[in-house]
Structure 1
Amino acid sequence: MTAVTIDPDAELLLPVPATAAAIPAQKCVDPTVDAGTTKLQHAFRAATACAAFVVLFSMLVANDVRTGGATSAQAKCNAELSNGKWVFPSNSPPQWNTNTCFASRYRVNDVSKCLAGARVAFVGDSTARAQYIALGKALGMDEAQMERHADKHMEGPSGIELSFYWDPFLNRTDVNQAPWIAEGGAGGVQAAVHEGSQPALVVFSAGHWFMRHEPKGFVEAIIGLRDRVAERHVPGAVTNGFSADGAVERAFIRPVSPVVESKLNEGRRPTLTMAAVDEYNAQLQEFVVNVDSNIEVPPYLTALYSDVADYTEDGLHYDDSVRDNELNLQLNEICNTRLFGANPAGKTTCCVDYSRVRIQQWVTLLGFAVFGGIAWLWRTLNRTGLMANAKTTSHAMQRLSAFLNTYLPTEQTSHDIAIIGAAVTYMLIVDRTSLVLKVNKLFQLPVFGMLVLAAATPGFATMAAEKDTTFLNRHQTDEWKGWMQLAILVYHYTGASSITPIYAVIRVMVASYLFMTGYGHFAFFYKKNTYTFARAASVLVRLNVLSAAMAYTMDKDILFYYFGPLVSFWFIFVWLTMYVGNQHNKSTPFLLVKIAIGAGISTAIVKIPWCLDSLFELLNVAAKTNWDARESMFRLRLDHLVVYAGMLTAFAAAKLSSATIAKNRMHAIWASTAVFAAYAVFVALTPSKIDYNSAHPYVSPIVVVAFTILRNATSDLRTHSSRFFRWVGLCSLELFLVQYHVWLAVDTKGIASLPFEGVLGSPGVGMLVFGVIFVAVASLVAGVSQRIVDCIAGASVSKWRTFGVVAAMVLWNWAW
């Protein structure tokens, strides 16, 4: 019987090529520099130049826009938090998004860590009570039902105590006896609730009761309050823990919240007016802000409440979304420096100074400069003969020339190293300096849909027929990698991870990459039975060389760029499975048993915590890696079966006869269609990502195999593929990695933004400008990566060079 033909380029089904020797010369064509060239390439080159000019100009003004020209840290923070707008995510309540910095979204653990051991007091009317409730909610505390106009107290995690004092006229406090601070003890003042607790944060909020009952008393109240707080204020402790011995460390007076007069009831409408609100806030400015008092009046709250008329039912009390956003802004001011000030990279850019570039990062960049730019210049000058006269001028120059010619890389290799160095330097500038603004993502379903459509349109417009009719042929798999990569890019950029159905589909796409890893490597090893060091080394280096360069430059763990290490882990298992007893690989029972044993061993490693913990501990001792086993275990568990599904699919493709396939083709198509329908229903009914993750390892292999069957259901489907998606597929690894710090920012949590007003500063223009540069950088890097791999671990390179590079990285880890 005739067996189904395996694609002769089956090894190319991997996310990246393996070796230059075994692979036809193909690359991700760089539309910005490749000569000859089409109108599209010229247009892209022009677009890249324009985008680069816009970004360079934006770097000149970014700092001034971000800080509003302020000089003090407090003023800069206020300017950053004030410059924002209300946005409307599709998956959550309205949010206040800052325009010039990435604000933290505080969760229970961060709030607990920031306020650990502190006592927080809210004093005033219902607006103070609302913030007391909001902080309790942020700490995961349930508010007990109590009388509205009464004091309230809660004890939270990490020794935090919350208190609310009903004091709408701010007249319960005086110098000798205050509800929020009381005299007592040899150590001085103490907290009123529990002896020894630290009243480190006090928030006052009042005004509306004055308007209705005592219009002229507001000024006197705030002046008295200002003076009393001054006596108990401990200045200069903003960046440390809340450790003031019973004294007030931070004190705030909220601006008087605006009212919506048209929504007020008849009893409130005559006295609660915006004119009165504006007058009271002007008095706060005059008697508190302008006199350099110890009480802060956050200006960002005025900005926050400037457009909230739709978020109140009675014209006075605002919805929970307003309350929660106010608290989050205040926590960004209070806690960002405390929690993230030492190293804010990847966490926040509001109210913190950017980390200084470490000496190790500078040395890494210097290495790229010496072995890249300088070496390339030297080799170029030598080749063109421009150094001929200089080298003959002295004996010392001749010796230097001989030394450089011996130890510097070749002209081509140094050029490629310079390209990588320029790329990671640009990443460092974008994501580790204040020269480029970073802002929060915003998920809006219409935007997500339009971006998916924009990515799909050129793909379908460039469909073309090819001659290859083999199962999962090269054109198909490049196309598969391409459209999946585009979907992942849109998913990351729009922040769609909180939408369970979208998350589930993206997880299947990641599983598909790993399926191709198992399929492609199995097909190669099964057909060629070749297990050389050069092949294994080149695959591993190709997967991780860019990740390593980025990790050392950006001061990150290489596992942070998880895709290369993830595929590397599974490649090693495929290699070991096929290598052990490879002389018997043509025996079907023997091979199937090997695959089952390999799946069992790898499952045990990723399922039993001490296995991976021990492995990572050993690597840490030997190579100073400091890898987090828990995160790796999570990713490995999610897809611990799909690689073996790929191996079994490749085995079936090699063994099944054409007659058998023809006989069962329709059954397979209908079964695969049913799988897709069932999966769609399952995803739609799955309530959360956690629930989906528990089923994903067992569901995804079935879905991926069903896709391969449907994709190859007819000869037309096998021969047709999209040229655009195929081009993207050839760059898929570089696109995935470069997005971290070029298109995205804050270590993928945020996005890069332009600091301009109007259309030029709109999210759409920013996406296009940074997106064009992102594609250009990724394609440049993709064009040189394989040559770098060949230099380190190619078939013609001594294995000692490969070992030397690895040893140098280990030594650098110890120096780091």
Structure 2
Amino acid sequence: MEGEKVALSVGQVAFLLGITPVLAAWAYSELLEYRKHLYPSKVHSDLNLVDLRGYSGQAVTKDEEKSVLLEGGILESVNSKGSAVSVKAQLLKLFSLDELFLLECRPTLRAIAEFAGILFYFYLCDRTTLFGESKKSYNRDLFLFLYLLLVIVSWWTSLKKHVEKSVASGKSILYLNRHQTEEWKGWMQVLFLMYHYFAAAEMYNAIRVFIAGYVWMTGFGNFSYYYVRKDFSLGRFFQMMWRLNFLVIFCCIILNNNYMLYYICPMHTLFTVMVYCALGVFHKYNELPVVMAIKFAICFFTVIIIWEVPGMFELVWSPLTSIMGYVDPNPNKEKKPPLFEWQFRSGLDRYVWIIGMIYAYFHPMVEKWLERLDELEYRLRALLKTIIVTVAVVVGYLWYQHIYKLDKYTYNKLHPYTSWIPISVYICLRNISQPLRNSSLSLFAWLGKITLETYIGQFHIWLRTGVPNGQPGHLLSVIPNYPLLNFMLTSSLYLLVSLRLFELTGTLKSSFVPSKDNKRLSQIALVGLSIACALYGVAFLLIKL
């Protein structure tokens, strides 16, 4: 099937129809910018005088002009009164190639063009024969060598000490600080990716724990934000949804894949929504301990009903089968019901996000306790820390011997109820002393910031799926017969592209998802949905004809 011609899907045709005029507008905006520098006097007379009056014909101050240009967003420019310009009017200016508008929107148009170019690169790597593919090969010695080498290099070059203050006391505690959690995500992500690249099947149970760690942080991070900031605005919520789903939606469209192929994305989306709902409902009473206890109990009860009661999962999710369904196209794999994959993946970590919320709720109390512990007399402090470390190590050892070492099928049955144990042991040992809390490896923290992009990108520009909804069973081969050189080159390009995708997602989020204007957000959503429906309708007709 590799060399056969594959007909374009409706989504792919719709994307081409939509992106073509945008790319044309971007090219024209770059030409205008070039002319602006080539003929500054002419551009000044033709455009800049209009710019100083704004779209409403009134004078625009320097600060307002700077604000518009810094945003660089198609849907975020403002007039002199600070009210948003009509979304429809802005689209008309875009498609009529209004020169002033295109100059202002050039950074956003450039970001869209670059994003489209990266998606095209995804398609070239994974759906064409331009690049080859090679088989995966696992060697434990090489696997451990590469990972430990990265750890050593990171330790030598990026070990940093951070000076931050405890929210609870104002003193330097740094229990589960942002640097630490980003580093945690980073070193787990490296092992997760290497597990896929080298087909390290013996690490299966460890990968399950790492994914539970990510879901735990979904509960911990979102609870911390909503409980402390009390910001339940739709703008903030949809910015988070954009972050989690913007890239994956376009990958599904361009590569004709189901959403569930990238199962981490729907999992984080689901549990983020559940945290938002749990804290958002009657949020004025979140300060009351009894209210929070009831909310935690409701969360547990909801999970028990949906995942533990036979037949309830299918009843709840069957209306969304077209979105959440997945069937592996490999003819050698046993065919499962469409919702099986979603039930299995989400069920593995159905409780740990609630554990993350509980840890976040008691975070200030733990900070105070750590503060008191560090102020104790040396011998007593050393004794208490020794006891804590000993208990944590013993608990971790027992979990390893009696749960982790089980075969993967038996382990999966226990994982939903026990994944919090290794997570808690790690948190305890990682935060037992002030130097450990204050220090992090910034290289892993940097990798931790782009975990979503590296997770999605690995399927198509590091590994290869080859067909719609295929699992990444092969490696992308740019330098045939030189596996280590190929690993070095493809990994470098893969990280570079992942970083750019992270930055582009943020840039476009700032342009299209206003954080404090619900009316404008709804206008943008309505116009975007209308355009998407129109493009899909035209694409469907073109394919039928």
TM-score by length of 1: 0.51
> What is the deviation of 1:637?
0.6
1:791 partnered with 2:511? yes
**Structure-2 residue corresponding to 1:719:** 438
> What is the deviation of 1:466?
1.2
Residues 692 and 400 (structure 1 numbering): CA distance in 2 closer, same or farther, change over 3 Å?
Answer: closer
> What is the deviation of 1:607?
3.7
SS at match of 1:438: strand
8 A contact 1:548–1:558 mirrored in 2: yes
Residues 812 and 657 (structure 1 numbering): CA distance in 2 closer, same or farther, change over 3 Å?
Answer: same
Unmatched runs of 5 consecutive residues or more in structure 2? 47-91, 165-172, 327-337, 374-383, 466-470, 541-545
Residues 610 and 369 (structure 1 numbering): CA distance in 2 closer, same or farther, change over 3 Å?
Answer: farther
Which of the residues 106, 110, 130 maps onto 1:415? 110
**Structure-2 residue corresponding to 1:492:** 196
8 A contact 2:219–2:357 mirrored in 1: yes
8 A contact 2:25–2:95 mirrored in 1: no
Which of the residues 295, 300, 304 maps onto 1:603? 304
**Structure-2 residue corresponding to 1:633:** 343
- In structure 1, C-alpha distance between the alignment counterparts of 2:155 and 2:372, rounded to whole Å: 29
8 A contact 2:217–2:356 mirrored in 1: yes
8 A contact 2:21–2:95 mirrored in 1: no
1:698 partnered with 2:393? no
Counterpart mapping for 1:23-422 below 5 A: 344=1, 349=2, 353=4, 355-358=6-9, 360-371=11-22, 373-385=23-35, 403-405=96-98, 410-422=105-117
**Structure-1 residue corresponding to 2:55:** none
Counterpart mapping for 1:282-681 below 5 A: 344=1, 349=2, 353=4, 355-358=6-9, 360-371=11-22, 373-385=23-35, 403-405=96-98, 410-461=105-156, 462-468=158-164, 469-496=173-200, 498-499=201-202, 502-608=203-309, 610-619=311-320, 628-656=338-366, 658-659=368-369, 662=372, 667-681=387-401
- In structure 1, C-alpha distance between the alignment counterparts of 2:314 and 2:97, rounded to whole Å: 44
Give the letter aligned to residue 745 of structure 1. Answer: R
8 A contact 1:745–1:752 mirrored in 2: yes
Q: Deviations over 1:698-732 (max 9, x none)?
A: 11112112211211110000111011111111211
Q: Deviations over 1:762-810 (max 9, x none)?
A: 2111111211111111111111111212223231562221344356556
8 A contact 2:396–2:421 mirrored in 1: no
Give the letter aligned to residue 355 of structure 1. Answer: V
1:730 partnered with 2:434? no
Residues 483 and 401 (structure 1 numbering): CA distance in 2 closer, same or farther, change over 3 Å?
Answer: closer
> What is the deviation of 1:478?
1.2
Identity of aligned residues (%): 23
> What is the deviation of 1:678?
1.8
- In structure 1, C-alpha distance between the alignment counterparts of 2:250 and 2:496, rounded to whole Å: 18
> What is the deviation of 1:369?
4.3
Q: Deviations over 1:78-123 (max 9, x none)?
A: xxxxxxxxxxxxxxxxxxxxxxxxxxxxxxxxxxxxxxxxxxxxxx
> What is the deviation of 1:467?
0.7
Give the letter aligned to residue 264 of structure 2. Answer: F
Give the letter aligned to residue 444 of structure 1. Answer: N
- In structure 2, C-alpha distance between the alignment counterparts of 1:708 and 1:366, rounded to whole Å: 50
8 A contact 1:522–1:647 mirrored in 2: yes
- In structure 2, C-alpha distance between the alignment counterparts of 1:605 and 1:807, rounded to whole Å: 34
- In structure 2, C-alpha distance between the alignment counterparts of 1:472 and 1:806, rounded to whole Å: 40
> What is the deviation of 1:439?
2.6
8 A contact 1:458–1:724 mirrored in 2: no
Q: Deviations over 1:731-767 (max 9, x none)?
A: 11111111110001124221111364xxxx3211111
Q: Deviations over 1:594-637 (max 9, x none)?
A: 1111122133223446444344443468xx77664221111111
Runs of 4 or more above 6 Å deviation: 387-392, 399-402, 406-409, 810-816
SS at match of 1:421: helix
Residues 751 and 582 (structure 1 numbering): CA distance in 2 closer, same or farther, change over 3 Å?
Answer: same
- In structure 1, C-alpha distance between the alignment counterparts of 2:532 and 2:345, rounded to whole Å: 25
SS at match of 2:448: helix
8 A contact 2:461–2:494 mirrored in 1: yes
1:751 partnered with 2:471? no
Unmatched runs of 5 consecutive residues or more in structure 1? 1-343, 393-398
**Structure-2 residue corresponding to 1:740:** 459
> What is the deviation of 1:370?
3.3
Residues 660 and 489 (structure 1 numbering): CA distance in 2 closer, same or farther, change over 3 Å?
Answer: closer
Residues 365 and 485 (structure 1 numbering): CA distance in 2 closer, same or farther, change over 3 Å?
Answer: farther
Residues 808 and 592 (structure 1 numbering): CA distance in 2 closer, same or farther, change over 3 Å?
Answer: farther
8 A contact 1:463–1:722 mirrored in 2: yes
**Structure-2 residue corresponding to 1:769:** 489
Q: Which of these two proteins has the greater Rg computed from alpha carbons?
A: 1
**Structure-1 residue corresponding to 2:331:** none
- In structure 2, C-alpha distance between the alignment counterparts of 1:682 and 1:625, rounded to whole Å: 34
> What is the deviation of 1:465?
1.0
- In structure 2, C-alpha distance between the alignment counterparts of 1:456 and 1:432, rounded to whole Å: 34
> What is the deviation of 1:360?
3.7
Give the letter aligned to residue 108 of structure 2. Answer: T
Q: Deviations over 1:360-405 (max 9, x none)?
A: 424424533432x33322223334445998999xxxxxx9887233
Higher relative contact order (CA 8 A, sep 6+): 2
Q: Deviations over 1:188-233 (max 9, x none)?
A: xxxxxxxxxxxxxxxxxxxxxxxxxxxxxxxxxxxxxxxxxxxxxx
- In structure 2, C-alpha distance between the alignment counterparts of 1:665 and 1:648, rounded to whole Å: 23
8 A contact 1:508–1:700 mirrored in 2: yes
**Structure-2 residue corresponding to 1:802:** 525
Residues 679 and 793 (structure 1 numbering): CA distance in 2 closer, same or farther, change over 3 Å?
Answer: same
SS at match of 1:640: coil
8 A contact 1:489–1:736 mirrored in 2: yes
Deviates more, 1:715-724 or 1:463-472: 463-472
Q: Deviations over 1:656-715 (max 9, x none)?
A: 5624774675554333222221232235631x2111111111111121122112111100
Residues 610 and 374 (structure 1 numbering): CA distance in 2 closer, same or farther, change over 3 Å?
Answer: farther
8 A contact 1:354–1:432 mirrored in 2: no
Aligned length: 450
- In structure 2, C-alpha distance between the alignment counterparts of 1:808 and 1:612, rounded to whole Å: 34
- Whichever structure has more helix as a proportion of its residues is 2
**Structure-2 residue corresponding to 1:102:** none
TM-score by length of 2: 0.76
**Structure-2 residue corresponding to 1:305:** none
Give the letter aligned to residue 638 of structure 1. Answer: L
- In structure 2, C-alpha distance between the alignment counterparts of 1:574 and 1:666, rounded to whole Å: 35
